[in-house]
Amino acid sequence: MRILLITGPGGAGRTTVAAATAVAAARTGQRVLLLSADPGDPLAALVGEATGEPVEAAPGLAAVPAAGVLVARVDSGEEFREELVALQERGSALLGMVGARPLGAEELTELPGAEQFALLRALRRAAAAPGTDLVVVDLPPLHQAVATLALPAQLRRYLARLLPAERQAARALRPVLAQLAGVPMPAQWLYEAAARWDEELAEVQAVVEAAATSLRIVAEPGPGADAALRTGLLGLALEQLPVGAIVANRMVPQGSPDPWLAGLAAQQEKYAAQWAGAEWAGAESVGAESGGDVPVLPVGHLGRDPAGPEDLIGLAGAEGLVPGASEARVRARPAWVVEDRLADDGVLVWVVPLPGAHKRDLDLVRRGDELLLAAGPYRRIVPLPSALRRCTVSGAALAGGVLRIRFTPDPDLWPRRP
């Protein structure tokens, strides 16, 4: 099974491209599952009416057949209500101790962030869908998509800090504490819930980082999309998530006698060519590890909003959207390599590829055995490799889309050479 994640700046047509990709792949004989969490359900107008009864595409994931694909829409509100009601039931002893009144499912309204959680849970389920060749996921807009894809690793770190597994070693003391307090201690169910969440998050993280998972960014070539695309790619680079392809959407034909259309076509071609360039693709820094330049896939403008499966197939280059052998090759996560320069300069250098980054947008903070790295609007806390934990940060430099952080060995912690 392959999983294709599709995102892009708001209004770029990512949902249309996701639907066109799914329908085109289905016409090649692949069994395709199209997944979306958009509350407005724009897929209904694109793929047409359901052609059969709802089915269970995967355990806990309902879908309807339409245009030759299975379409699954995530109901984030229902997911939120079920999870919160279940959490209340597990923590009933604690809620009773503090005199709280549990909330009923009918009075719960989903909170911000519920959509991301529901989409990640649906992605985990879709990855286990039996008999499926390709899962196409219509992600939120680019900035939100970066945050969503980074969420599993971030939450696992929070759980490890707030509810460390080793604290469960004090389980034998809980009966004594319960007798002293006169109420059941909630620690057991809390740790059990944390372990369940961590297991689910680990499964989602594995799906996102798997070699069979590709990420495409849809953008309409132009100055506004260019800025949003560069910012989004910087966030993806910070999370070490490689991009499989960039879809240049709504390309107008060349050679029009109309000056306005000719000027628009020239501008689109200019930006599409820039996106296909080696520097933009990050070839200088990560190309060797990610499989070379990132391809740009052109999709023509229909001259109207697409409506229905035939319009999706009619998009220029729709067949080219189907993942092929070139994109199916393994695109490894960009490696953050530690270079040994002890003999020459007395330092170790951590090489962090960040194509498109500017020095003014970067910030570094060392906290114990972790490094907080900020790039533009994105932040990530990463554990230091074991060798760097025994060093102090002595400087950093950004050049050619690569951040090089210098570490000097701490003489009190570094083994002395004979």
**Same domain, yes or no: 167 and 312:** yes
Q: Which pLDDT value is given to residue 223?
A: 93
- Share above pLDDT 70 across residues of the chain, in percent, rounded to a whole number: 77
pLDDT category at 340 given cuts 50, 70, 90 is: very high
CATH code, 375: 2.60.40.790
**Same domain, yes or no: 57 and 142:** yes
**Residue 351: is its pLDDT beyond 90?**
yes
**Residue 95: is its pLDDT beyond 60?**
no
Domain-located, residue 416: no
pLDDT category at 166 given cuts 50, 70, 90 is: low
Among residues 283, 301, 328, the one where a domain terminates is 328
pLDDT category at 288 given cuts 50, 70, 90 is: very low
Domain-located, residue 397: yes
**Residue 418: is its pLDDT beyond 80?**
no
**Same domain, yes or no: 16 and 35:** yes
**Residue 132: is its pLDDT beyond 50?**
yes
pLDDT category at 163 given cuts 50, 70, 90 is: confident
From CA 78, how far away is CA 80, in angstroms rounded?
Answer: 5
Bridge partner list, 338:
350
**Residue 417: is its pLDDT beyond 90?**
no
CATH code, 122: 3.40.50.300
At a CB cut-off of 8 Å and minimum separation 6, what does 413 contact?
390, 391
**Same domain, yes or no: 289 and 226:** yes
Most confident of 72-81, 183-192, 355-364: 355-364
Q: Which pLDDT value is given to residue 99?
A: 58
Q: Which pLDDT value is given to residue 350?
A: 97
Domain-located, residue 87: yes
Mean pLDDT, residues 29-40: 88
Q: Which domain holds residue 111?
A: 2-328
Domain-located, residue 414: no
At a CB cut-off of 8 Å and minimum separation 6, what does 33 contact?
57, 63, 69, 70, 72, 126, 129, 132, 134, 135, 136
**Residue 248: is its pLDDT beyond 50?**
yes
Among residues 304, 328, 352, the one where a domain terminates is 328
pLDDT category at 197 given cuts 50, 70, 90 is: confident
Q: Which pLDDT value is given to residue 115?
A: 84
Domain-located, residue 385: yes
Domain-located, residue 415: no
From CA 355, how far away is CA 284, in angstroms rounded?
Answer: 9
Number of domains in the chain: 2
**Same domain, yes or no: 279 and 367:** no
Q: Which pLDDT value is given to residue 284?
A: 38
At a CB cut-off of 8 Å and minimum separation 6, what does 103 contact?
84, 85, 88
Domain-located, residue 418: no
Q: Which pLDDT value is given to residue 276?
A: 84
**Same domain, yes or no: 32 and 144:** yes
**Same domain, yes or no: 132 and 215:** yes
**CA torsion, ordered 82, 88, 89, 93, to nearest 10 deg:** 180
Among residues 328, 363, 389, the one where a domain terminates is 328
At a CB cut-off of 8 Å and minimum separation 6, what does 140 contact?
7, 37, 115, 116, 119, 148
**Residue 114: is its pLDDT beyond 90?**
no
What digits encode the pLDDT tens for the residues 383-400?
Answer: 999 999 999 999 999 998
Domain-located, residue 20: yes
What is this structure's pTM? 0.86
- Share above pLDDT 90 across residues of the chain, in percent, rounded to a whole number: 48
**Same domain, yes or no: 288 and 356:** no
Q: Sign of torsion, CA 85 91 93 98?
A: negative
**Same domain, yes or no: 175 and 222:** yes
Q: Which two tokens stand for residue 301?
A: 């403008």
**Same domain, yes or no: 232 and 310:** yes
**Same domain, yes or no: 256 and 376:** no
**Residue 51: is its pLDDT beyond 80?**
yes
Mean pLDDT for the chain overall: 82
**Same domain, yes or no: 287 and 402:** no
Q: Which pLDDT value is given to residue 246?
A: 93
Residue type, 50: A
**Residue 180: is its pLDDT beyond 80?**
no
